[in-house]
Structure 1
Amino acid sequence: MDSINYITDRSFICNKKIINIFLFFVLLVLLACLQGCSEDVPQYTNESIRAVPINQIGSGSNSTVMSFAGVTRKMSQAELSFGVSGTVQTILVDIGSRVSEGDILASLDLEPYQLALEGAYSEVEKARASNEENKINYERAERLMLSNSVSQQNLDAARTLYDNSQATLQAAQTRVKLAERDISQAVIRAPYDGVISSRQIEPFEQITQNDVVFKFDGSDGFIVESTVPANLAGEISKGESFDVTVKWRDVHFEATIEHLGARAGNGLSFPIKIKVNDADETTLPTGVVVEINYSKQEDTSMLYVPHGAVVVESSNDSAYIYLYNSVTETANKSHVNILDVQSYGYWIENNFREEDLYVAAGAAFISEGQKVRPAGENR
């Protein structure tokens, strides 16, 4: 009987241990579940916070800015050439050489032209002597005619010889001027202060008349040659006011519209010349591609925002943008009234403060209250 009770007691003890072990494992499972639930709570990190472009309401958003490319050049440019043919004898400059007005840049072999000039001088002296002789003969014939010592026919012949000799003298004098001009045309001089931008000759090279041998840039201001679309050209021609800037390597230069073509060059765009203010060779080179920005200030009651800043709900035709709270780093919806749709954005009613910040792109991919950070911000 005692042995039976002993066995029963042992069984009870074993069962109790099994129950305790079971309860311990259940407790572990519950703790694991609770830990798993706590991990489901989103924890934002730098990697999970979306980076978006942020614009400020008062940072020029109420102005229309259109940008086009252009190429810089000097206001004064020239292609220099010899006025006669010949062999290059002297070259005194190269690309980048700065010269003053009247400086000699290059010359041809002058000997042929100097010989031609000497020959022209000889022809003048010969023609002058002949003219003097014929003049004396004609004056003698006139005096003899008064005493009827010569016939009218002889007087007319003397007069003809005198007229011909005068014409021959004038022709010889003209040839002297042409020979002198040829000598001057065999030398290239700087037309004004400037710099050599291109040299296309070498010594002893045979040059043909009017071959371009130098390209020359003046020392005056800069011009940017570009084109603008027909709609912008129309606004400019109507006298609309634009703030124009030229940008090169993150440097901005104030500029003004100098000339606008009256005829489209390719059926779509009009040629335009922009004068750059306060620029020189040290800050803006010649012949580089630059960005021209045309900015037009609009009514401050309207705000121009990019397409990517506006979300339009198709269900109720309402629209909103996301304002950025820099304190909580969250984006919050703000309903807007669209006034006009443009090619690159919307005109909306401006009910915001100048210091307000908004998400300028990617608004369709974020949600109310989502944490965001300004694009380009390092953390």
Structure 2
Amino acid sequence: MLSGAATVSAQPSEAVKTITIESAPVVREQRSIPIRTSGRLAYHTETRLAFKTSGLVTEVAVDVGDRIEEGQMLAALDLAELDAQLSSAASNVDQATRDLKRLKGLYKKNVIPLQQLENAQNAFDVAQSTLSITRFNRRLSVIKAPFSGRVLQREIEVNELVNSGTPVFVVAGEQQGWIVKVGLADRDIVRVQLGDRAELRMDPYPDELLVGRVSRIAAAADAATGTFEVEISLPTDDRELRSGFVVRVDILPSSTPKYSFIPIEALVAANGHLGLVFAHDRKTNKVSGRTVDIVALVDDELAVRAGLEGVERVVTEGAPYMKDGLRVKTAQ
């Protein structure tokens, strides 16, 4: 029995032989029990952008909140040093090409050994690779928008020296829609499946209901919170939404196991998801305490997973005064 149940039970008066109670039936049926939680609204696609190389920022073309188009230049570094490196690398390739061509001719005439030709070939390959790397670094010293959307964060200014790989922009794609991320406990995550319907409400639009679908379910719990992250996708919406809105979420699992439903008045004590109720046997007019595993509160009823096996009725009126084996009578 639930710990602490004795603290809520009271001894009946010595003058009273039996206590009059009211009881209610235990209803067993399949219902879709919503999982109520909350999360924050975010763009479906949010990307951090950084320069491939270190350098001095010479141009910043956008600010926070600006709309961007795919391929648009957002910021650039001073390219003087990279241009010089590129010119040097190109010259090295030209020199290696000439050397390789000359040595191939000499090798055909048996003037030089094979090893000397192979060394020239290796020098040519290295020069080509260096040129490719230099071109790649130069291209990524200019940040361009990877998609059309909006700038969420900007972390740089002109004439600022930045390190390679340091995020300088966070951009979001507006065409991919929105998501809400929520954390669910282990007892709830097993009820959720991909594609389950989710109903969402937020304070900026209190009278409007948004409908989404579960699009991703984490395979492992978050080490910090112990919860499992579930992602709910929303289609593109005409409402003026903002990343960071707090969203109240009701996930409606498609799986509907059979639960026992009892009035909330039957609950005598609770500790987490465990509760204490009293079963009423109408044949003997005696009551017995039962520890139940509560799934959820649905309106004015409790959905119970376990603990009411074989029980047909539970005490409602007078429940706080019950104890095991107490004989009672039913109110007319």
Matches within 5 A, 1:96-245: 96-141=65-110, 157-219=112-174, 220-237=176-193, 243-245=197-199
Cα displacement (A) at 1:88:
0.3
Equivalent of residue 259 in structure 1, options 210, 216, 226: 216
Matches within 5 A, 1:245-284: 245-249=199-203, 250=206, 251-265=208-222, 268-280=226-238, 282-284=239-241
Measured in 1, the distance between the counterparts of 2:302 and 2:108 equals: 95
Q: Percent identity?
A: 23
Cα displacement (A) at 1:213:
0.1
Paired residues of 2:186 and 2:228 also in contact (CA < 8 A): yes
User: What amino acid is aligned across from residue 290 of structure 1 in structure 2?
Assistant: V
Where does structure 1 lack aligned partners over 5 or more consecutive residues? 1-61, 142-154, 319-339, 349-362, 365-379
User: What amino acid is aligned across from residue 245 of structure 1 in structure 2?
Assistant: E
Cα displacement (A) at 1:272:
0.6
Measured in 2, the distance between the counterparts of 1:179 and 1:296 equals: 53
Measured in 2, the distance between the counterparts of 1:205 and 1:100 equals: 25
Cα displacement (A) at 1:309:
10
Where does structure 2 lack aligned partners over 5 or more consecutive residues? 1-30, 269-276, 282-291, 304-316, 319-332
Name which of structure 1's ranges 176-185 and 203-212 shifts more when overlaid on structure 2: 176-185
Distance 1:106 1:303, change over 3 A: same
Measured in 2, the distance between the counterparts of 1:77 and 1:115 equals: 35
Larger Rg: 1
Q: Compute the TM-score of the two structures, normalised by the length of structure 2.
A: 0.65
Paired residues of 1:63 and 1:298 also in contact (CA < 8 A): yes
Measured in 2, the distance between the counterparts of 1:273 and 1:347 equals: 27
More strand by share: 2
Measured in 2, the distance between the counterparts of 1:120 and 1:269 equals: 52
Measured in 1, the distance between the counterparts of 2:260 and 2:54 equals: 65
Cα displacement (A) at 1:177:
1.1
Paired residues of 1:137 and 1:158 also in contact (CA < 8 A): no
User: What amino acid is aligned across from residue 247 of structure 1 in structure 2?
Assistant: R
Measured in 2, the distance between the counterparts of 1:304 and 1:137 equals: 94
User: What amino acid is aligned across from residue 224 of structure 1 in structure 2?
Assistant: V
More helix by share: 1
Matches within 5 A, 1:219-368: 219=174, 220-237=176-193, 243-249=197-203, 250=206, 251-265=208-222, 268-280=226-238, 282-295=239-252, 307=264, 342=294, 344=297, 345-346=300-301
Q: Compute the TM-score of the two structures, normalised by the length of structure 1.
A: 0.58
Equivalent of residue 90 in structure 1, options 59, 74, 92: 59
Equivalent of residue 67 in structure 1, options 36, 40, 47: 36
Q: Residue 33 of structure 2: SS of its match in structure 1?
A: strand
Cα displacement (A) at 1:208:
0.5
- Aligned partner of 2:11 in structure 1 is none
Distance 1:119 1:192, change over 3 A: same
Measured in 2, the distance between the counterparts of 1:127 and 1:254 equals: 63
- Aligned partner of 2:312 in structure 1 is none
Q: Residue 64 of structure 1: SS of its match in structure 2?
A: coil
Cα displacement (A) at 1:91:
0.5
Measured in 2, the distance between the counterparts of 1:306 and 1:93 equals: 59
Q: Residue 109 of structure 2: SS of its match in structure 1?
A: helix
Paired residues of 1:194 and 1:217 also in contact (CA < 8 A): yes
Paired residues of 2:191 and 2:255 also in contact (CA < 8 A): no
RMSD over aligned Cα atoms: 3.4
Measured in 2, the distance between the counterparts of 1:255 and 1:159 equals: 68
Q: Residue 163 of structure 1: SS of its match in structure 2?
A: helix
Distance 1:316 1:263, change over 3 A: closer
Q: Report the count of equivalent residues.
A: 248
Measured in 2, the distance between the counterparts of 1:227 and 1:272 equals: 6
Q: Residue 231 of structure 2: SS of its match in structure 1?
A: strand
Paired residues of 2:56 and 2:162 also in contact (CA < 8 A): yes
Measured in 2, the distance between the counterparts of 1:164 and 1:298 equals: 68
Cα displacement (A) at 1:294:
2.4
- Aligned partner of 2:324 in structure 1 is none
Q: Residue 221 of structure 1: SS of its match in structure 2?
A: strand
Distance 1:171 1:310, change over 3 A: closer
